[in-house]
Copies of this chain bind each other. A is one copy, B any other.
Amino acid sequence: MSKGTVVLAYSGGLDTSCILVWLKEQGYDVIAYLANIGQDEDFDAARKKAERLGAKKVFIEDLRAEFVEEFIWPSVQASAIYEDRYLLGTSIARPCIARRQVQIAQKECAQFVSHGATGKGNDQIRFELTCYALYPDVKIIAPWRIPEFYNRFKGRKDLMEYAEKHGIPVPVTPKAPWSMDANLMHISSCCYLDQLGSSLGVSHAPSDLYLMTKNPEQSPNTPDMLEMEFKSGKPIKVSHVTDGTTKDTPLEIFLYLNEVGGKHGVGRIDIVENRFIGMKSRGIYETPGGTILHHAHLDIEAFTMDREVRRIKQGLGIKFSELLYNGFWYSPECEYVRHCIAKSQENVEGKVQLSVFKGNVNILGRESPKSLYNEELVR
């Protein structure tokens, strides 16, 4: 008899494929859920694989538009940035993914959800806080925190053997020595990196790590000039000044900014950050479109917002960034802060002209019907 139904956050990779089979072994019915938030994935193949491994149902959900509108846009409004540098691409995606997982669980009357996040990272926390907030009675199965699981799968080798035994396709290329997370907003590579060069202390990221952005040394020698239009602090249009390309839906705007930013090597950072559970980790991030938006929004905001309101909003934005990083998107305080930030954006409206070139976003000018900038007064 089944122990119940689990909705598993399934990526199509080795780990969550093994978890799928293991959960079935433990007596659960498994629904595989794979969110499309813009990562590079063969979704059809992933579906077939999950079905072959015994998933009762498979949900492949295109969340890209809601990811942009409901998660990236509020972060742009907040100028969300963690510890002055990280644009929070992974943190923003977690509540979006988990929200749909919980919706599926409720619709399919599943009491359980499961994920493949490790027991030491931020992601398990972000994921689980969202689940509990939106579906308080849900039970979470986190195999990497269950002794029966983590004692059985002590390394990649154990997973490979298990995969072979259970007919799970085994990746032929060796695993990269770093862990990655990819979505529409960014690709992050972290943690394992320092194994490469810890003896040096100062190890540099390998150049083939970057996937979303060109190396600025090889990027075009002429800039692209864009005009970004904002209303209520949200992007509503982007135009290429010379070739006339124009985008005006959230998803299209963001995809286009990724394209232009990626072409010019914009948005690469290599940082050490402080994790929620109290240790430091290294992160290498590529956030091309998000970086362009961050700069353009800062500019139109400074142009149209009262100085003292800006100061208060800056403090709320820092708070928002910490909440977001720590996984508290669906908490009373984060909802409160989002409301206050949105209120501050009512007059953030106008156009920003900028050029993108060799990793740089250069603001060239701005105009606004709501400008508080008075040429008469400034002498």
Contacts and interface: CB of A to CB of B under 8 A. Distances in A.
Contacts of A357: 216-217, 358-359
Contact of A333 (B198, B312, B318, B374): B312
Given A280-B303, A358-B358, A358-B360, A367 B309 contact: no
A343 interface: yes
Interface stretch (A66-74, A79-87, A159-167): A79-87
Given A302-B83, A308-B333, A216 B360 contact: yes
A358 B308 contact: no
Contacts of A148: none
B202 A363 contact: no
A332 B360 contact: no
A115 to B, nearest CB: 17
A191 interface: yes
Interface string A337-379: 1011001100000010100011110111111000111110111
A106 interface: no
Given A312-B319, A315-B315, A366-B202, A282 B359 contact: no
- Which of the listed residues A278, A351, A373 has the most CB atoms from chain B within 10 Å of its own CB? A373
Contacts of A366: 202, 272
A367 B314 CA distance: 31
Given A282-B373, A307-B278, A360-B359, A343 B332 contact: no
A274 interface: yes
A327 B56 CA distance: 48
Q: Is the interface of A mostly helix, strand, loop or mixed?
A: mixed
A306 B279 contact: no
Contact of A191 (B118, B314, B337, B378): B378
Contacts of A217: 221-223, 357
- Which of the listed residues A280, A306, A322, A340 has the most CB atoms from chain B within 10 Å of its own CB? A280
Given A84-B298, A280-B378, A373-B280, A322 B311 contact: yes
A360 B291 CA distance: 14
A32 B148 CA distance: 39
Interface in A177-211: 191, 194-195, 197-198, 200-205
A270 B362 contact: yes
B365 A203 contact: yes
Contacts of A359: 357-360, 362
Given A216-B357, A353-B204, A362-B270, A309 B281 contact: no
A272 B299 contact: yes
A2 to B, nearest CB: 28
Given A84-B79, A279-B377, A375-B194, A332 B358 contact: no
22 contacts: A83-B302, A83-B314, A120-B378, A191-B379, A195-B375, A200-B367, A202-B364, A204-B353, A205-B364, A216-B357, A217-B222, A271-B299, A272-B302, A272-B373, A280-B372, A280-B378, A308-B333, A309-B333, A309-B336, A314-B318, A339-B343, A357-B358
Q: What 6 A-B pairs have minimum CB-CB distances, sorted nearest first?
A: A201-B367, A274-B307, A308-B333, A202-B365, A358-B358, A306-B332
